[in-house]
Structures are given as structure tokens and as C-alpha cells.
């Protein structure tokens, strides 16, 4: 049961870090788009 708990915690940790990674990529993409549009309008 202990190894089962460790596996679940490990999966949760991987998923959480993946979600963080994904959201940071989305933030970077939107930031790049904003910067691109700002340059475009000038």
C-alpha cells in the first residue's frame, strides 16, 4: 500500500508540474502575441 501511495503522489506531482509548464507556455505565447501586435500597430 505504501508503494501504491508513492506512485499516486508521483503521478500527481508529474501532472501538476505538466499543468504548470503548459500554463507558462500559454502565458508566454499570449505575451509574444501582445508584443507582436503592439509592434504591428506602431
Reported pTM: 0.47
pLDDT at 40 over 70: no
Mean pLDDT (whole number) for 3-22: 86
The helices-and-strands tally (H runs, E runs) of the chain is 1, 0
Mean pLDDT (whole number) for 15-41: 84
Cα 4 to Cα 11: distance, rounded to the nearest angstrom: 11
Amino acid at each position: 500500500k505504501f508503494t501504491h501511495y508513492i506512485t499516486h503522489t508521483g503521478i500527481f506531482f508529474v501532472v501538476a508540474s505538466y499543468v504548470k509548464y503548459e500554463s507558462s507556455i500559454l502565458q508566454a505565447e499570449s505575451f509574444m502575441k501582445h508584443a507582436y501586435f503592439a509592434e504591428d500597430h506602431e
